[in-house]
Amino acid sequence: MPRGFLLLIAAQFTSALADNALLIVAIALLQQQGLPGWWAPLLKFSFTLSYVLLAPVVGPLADALPKARLMAWMNALKMLGLGGMLLPLHPVAAYAVVGLGAAGYAPAKYGLVTELVPPHQLVAANGWIEVSIVCAALLGTVLGGGLVSAPMLALGLNVSLGLLLGLYGLAALLQWGVPDSGARYPEAAWHPVALARDFWAAHRRLWRDAAGGLSLAVTTLFWGVGGVLQFAVLRWATERVGLGLDRAAYLQAVVALGVVAGAALAGRFVPLHRALRVLPAGVALGGLIAAVAPLTTLGPALPLLVLTGAVGGILVVPMNALLQHRGHQLLTAGRSIAVQGFNENLSVLTMLGVYAGLHALALPLVPLMMGFGGLIAAFMLVLMARRRALRRQARLGAGCSGAGQR
């Protein structure tokens, strides 16, 4: 891999590490303020909102500016949001500012991957990216658990927030070392109506592409599921197993450990032209979520949580690589990532909103998780049937073309 790509990995890992640790600290802040449990998913909701609302803007912005510099500026915005928690601003509002920085950061990061890495290395590069993201989630939740442990709480959560501020500063320094790829794109029309039309045209083009639309459907589902699973595992650990927030955060790390293993396997053994063969992993993912729900002890749950993460990693890495490849062919790097981010984060918002609403209505966790897993499996079966139908149409079209030539 190019040296610039490795620096990109290091920078994004450090920033994502702080993001994940900050979520746990923000949940502890909500608990300190005596707010009910359904406020916790609203943190992620506020973080994700900018990804959806600013989707028409962040793609052209990533194409208009050197992406590594834009990443550093967006990291500074994350630091501003964290500073809001020190003021103190309401944790949900402050985390929304962090999400604003992350929304501008994502298209630049993924767009830079497609500019620095040749197509034949994209699956491997996505393996690196996903492993670094999940390692950041793994270590970030461990770090967050440590920052809300009894000794740190005795010092005050402002000390924990100050340590995370330094971590964001380190990420910004690393980002300044990432080189400019030299890629340049036609200047966008910055009128709001023109931006909206450009984004909608790109959105329709990617969804209507056979491979692009199918891979976008899978990643949209996956990240919506991941957003809910993050809080469902915390709730499961506290309600069903009786763990505190600091130890419950470590179970998120267990799932992340599985994703690391699955992403590494996919990056090593699944070539780009066979990416769609991993679709059955999505059915298994839904079944595993349903299987974990009724358990009350860690013994049988831990291997199932690791396996859930591994299956998710095997599913998402090839789908991401295929989607980025098709998006880069059909659109520009920034625009394709902005379309992807819009759909995936709209899925996160929708699923988190439903989850928070059901939590507020006191729906028991076990039927909620089992129903959630069943819906995921059913949706993946529909996508697999769709893929088979598209392949039949392609074969029929090729046969008719051959007959016409004869």
Q: How far apart are CA 285 and CA 206, in angstroms?
A: 25
Instruction: Write down the pLDDT at residue 189.
Output: 55
3-state secondary structure of 226: helix
Q: How far apart are CA 258 and CA 279, in angstroms?
A: 18
Higher pLDDT, 276 or 17: 17
- Does pTM surpass 0.85? no
CA atoms within 13 A on the CB side of 200: 6
pLDDT at 163 over 90: yes
Mean pLDDT to the nearest integer, 184-192? 61
Mean pLDDT to the nearest integer, 348-370? 87
Q: Among 197, 138, 126, 140, which residue's Cα sits nearest to residue 168?
A: 140
Instruction: Write down the pLDDT at residue 186.
Output: 58
pLDDT at 402 over 60: no
- What would be the CATH architecture of the domain defined by 3-179+194-392? Up-down Bundle (1.20)
Q: How far apart are CA 283 and CA 294, in angstroms?
A: 19
What are the start-end ranges of the H helices in 87-209?
Answer: 91-116, 122-147, 150-155, 157-176, 192-208
Write down the domain spans for the chain. 3-179+194-392
Q: How far apart are CA 196 and CA 54, in angstroms?
A: 10
Which residues in 249-264 are b (16+ Cβ under 10 Å) and which e? bbbbbbbbbbbbbbbb
pLDDT digits (tens, 9 = 90+) for 270-328: 887 788 888 899 999 999 999 999 998 888 889 999 999 899 888 888 888 888 788 87
Q: How far apart are the first and last CA of the chain?
A: 48
Mean pLDDT over all residues of the chain? 84
Tokens coding 243: 């763990």
Q: How far apart are CA 5 and CA 203, in angstroms?
A: 27
Instruction: Write down the pLDDT at residue 392.
Output: 80
pLDDT digits (tens, 9 = 90+) for 321-338: 888 788 878 887 667 877
Mean pLDDT to the nearest integer, 132-141? 79
